[in-house]
Structure 1
Amino acid sequence: MNAMKFSKLVLPGVTMIAVTYGLARFSFGLLLPDMNDSLQMSEFVSGMVSSLFYLAYCLTIIVSTVITTREGPRRMIISAGLSAFAGMLLIYMAPNAWVLALGVLLAGGSTGLISPPYGAAISLWIKRDKQGKANTWINSGTSFGIALSGAGAILLSPNWRLTYLIYAILTCLILIWNFRAIPKVGTRSKLMFQKGQFSIRGVEGSIPLVLASLILGISTAAFWTFSRSFIEVAGDYSEWQLSGFWIIIGLFGVLGGFSGSLVEKGGLSFSYKLGSLSIASASIILSFSPEWLLMSYLSAGIFGCAYIFLTGVLLVWGIRVFITNASLGIGVPFLLLSLGQVIGSLLAGWFIGTWGYATSFILYGVVGMLASLTGPKNHHKKN
């Protein structure tokens, strides 16, 4: 393995994760009300279109894990950038819900394409003692993207088409940066890629990882999908305060980038329990005081930090369980996390309709507490 300079791989990785997750995927919910107005979509249609993000993610993370395992990371990283760029360009031009849906499929698919190959790239080209830190910092790119999308919503609010055009141009520039930064592997290069083993059967520690990822996905779904609607209904907030709630999620998520350091110091088991209990507390805090700006922002801060922190922990845990295949180590927990979010989102809408927001958010907080019981054992602490 030829080691690369830490920043040469991590910086383009952070920006690529920021545009795929933050701008291509999570910004959609903020801009959706304006899209509904201009494209005259019903709540049912916009809900169906939104669910395509999760569907595309589930499909592409499987494809990406398989291809990365066979060929190495470069092709999938470039494909993710192209998919995000094309998706956002289609959303910008969308004359109707059908074209918008196609754009959403491509934009959402980029997030599934990007996660496994960056894990593989780090395991190939970053020194072993720095791999945990590199993975969690690249993962925290989501937070920068979410914060940027919140700022975009404030500055460009009614102009959702212009917003997506700017995002697409930004994605194109970052794609070029990644194209130049990611080394080729194979015959003409000193870097040779060893094929990983593509199987989860009989891998020690894989069942707790699968369960934890699925339950955490369910527990976070209500917050991602309905927290902004919850505070909008419960309190008297201005538009910029509602967008500010989203920015707080993103800014505090940046702190989640330190999960690699905490895993090294406190161990994987402690870090996982801390993260899952924190994410549970965010839903419960919001359920008690959604009309109070300070408490709702506190809840957003805890959620943003805990979510990025936890995905970083799952990432490190996955790579340690699937020690011979880093792309599978990321693909498995992230796929199960997303499947949990699909289940959690579908149930959340029904629960909120039946019991209201507050009771539903308490229930999802309890699910987060249950997730804390399924964590890794401490013997995974060492590399």
Structure 2
Amino acid sequence: MKGTALGITGFALIAVTYGMARFAWGLMMPEVMHDIPFTRRVSGVLSACSFAAYCVAVLIAPMMTARAGPRFPAAVAALCAASGLLIIASAVSPWMLGIGLFIAGMSAGLASPALASAVSQRIEAEQQPQMNTVINAGTSMGIMLSVPILYWLPGGWRIACTVFAALAMICLVPIWRQLPNHNENAQRESWLSHLRQRTLQRLIFIALFSGVASAAWWSFGPDLLHHIHVSDRMVSLLWLIAGAAGIIGALTGPMAKWMGMKRVYWLSQCCLAVPLLLLAFSHHYSAWLFPAVALGGAAYVTLSGVLLVWGAEATNNAPAVGVGILFYMLAAGQVMGSLLFGQLFMLAGAPTALTLFAALPLLMMFVIRR
């Protein structure tokens, strides 16, 4: 019963912090650009603000968890999501958007390490990978819910951000009830002692370049669809499909038992490239966009689930540290990817930028041997 309650709490917090406070920006960005004009280059910088904040938070979270237990950083994550989203809702200039995105972006970086630590304390060892991947799939639910809230509620993106903020505040109640307020396995070693592990070094490389590749879709996806003349309604439907498909990420654990975690990793990298390649060579709407974006959504959530499990296992005496390091590198890659893709989009055009970014996950398939 405690495990179920913890799983639901973690799933809800990830839905709010990742799906709404972080990735919903890509969906609302075209509408925001109509109300607060800015260039695609600025949009790349704004997206990088969210990812940079994530990097900062994911560095702090393991230390907060070691000192105060998982409950405190998880509660701060919900508060950051709510306050950042409210700033975005009231923004009148790009710099206000940047501040809101930075604060909201911190929420996701605080949430994942705290939840990984809570799972390590409350869940039996053999069930931890499955619980972690189920919680991680909350990203998809957040993305799915963001579509009807953004497009069906009156008031547009400003009201939607206010609703997202309210949902973040609601998460505080189960966080306070279900997450431990102490750390049974308090980590005393420094990050540097873990960084010397060769296994973790290879995973760091994988996380960094996977983050670069994923930034193209999650920061610019709706804008790219508009670029090939897809209607607003169809863009929202495709985003909804990408989010819904990410629920498959909850099956990362069972898939790993059936085909091995390495093959799940290969499959997710391959599928990450599919929507980018299709968008690179598309000039108009095509029915092939539906399965392509579904593969992309499922691939990202599955890949982050693989990294979560591997990170927790690589530092099993301090799972928050391993998860924090890999998710930091994933976000650092997304910062680099957002800035780089924005520049390439402006200078070389969408097809060239998308082709180059699609090549990264395909190359990453050959990096890992074990």
Q: Would you say same fold, with TM above 0.5?
A: yes
1:114 aligns with 2:111: yes
Structure 1: unaligned runs, 5 residues or longer: 187-191, 378-383
Shift in CA distance, 67/163, structure 1 to aligned 2, threshold 3 Å: same
SS of the counterpart of 2:182? coil
1:292 aligns with 2:289: no
2:165 to 145, 162, 168: 168
Shift in CA distance, 43/8, structure 1 to aligned 2, threshold 3 Å: same
Supply the distance in 2 between the matched residues of 1:84 and 1:215 (Cα, whole angstroms): 26
Shift in CA distance, 120/196, structure 1 to aligned 2, threshold 3 Å: farther
1:225 aligns with 219
Q: TM-score, normalised by structure 1?
A: 0.90
> Offset at 1:157?
7.0
1:311 aligns with 2:308: no
> Offset at 1:373?
1.5
Greater relative CO (CA pairs within 8 A, separation 6+):
2
2:237 aligns with 244
- Residue identity matched to 1:252: A
Identity of matched residues, %: 32
> Offset at 1:213?
0.6
- Residue identity matched to 1:265: W
1:205 aligns with 2:199: yes
1:351 to 328, 337, 344: 344
Supply the distance in 1 between the matched residues of 2:356 and 2:46 (Cα, whole angstroms): 26
Supply the distance in 1 between the matched residues of 2:107 and 2:319 (Cα, whole angstroms): 19
SS of the counterpart of 1:25? coil
Shift in CA distance, 158/169, structure 1 to aligned 2, threshold 3 Å: closer
1:194 aligns with 2:191: no
Shift in CA distance, 49/360, structure 1 to aligned 2, threshold 3 Å: closer
Deviation sequence 1:304-355 (CA, Å, 0-9, x none): 0011011001111111111211001111111111111111222212322333
Q: Is the 8 A contact 2:204 2:325 kept in 1?
A: yes
Q: Is the 8 A contact 2:185 2:318 kept in 1?
A: no
1:27 aligns with 2:7: no
Aligned-CA RMSD value: 2.0
1:254 aligns with 2:254: no
Q: TM-score, normalised by structure 2?
A: 0.93
Mean Cα displacement is larger for which, 268-277 or 41-50? 41-50
Supply the distance in 2 between the matched residues of 1:317 and 1:290 (Cα, whole angstroms): 39
2:148 aligns with 151
Mean Cα displacement is larger for which, 103-112 or 281-290? 281-290
SS of the counterpart of 1:294? coil
1:340 aligns with 2:303: no
Structure 2: unaligned runs, 5 residues or longer: none
Mean Cα displacement is larger for which, 246-255 or 177-186? 177-186
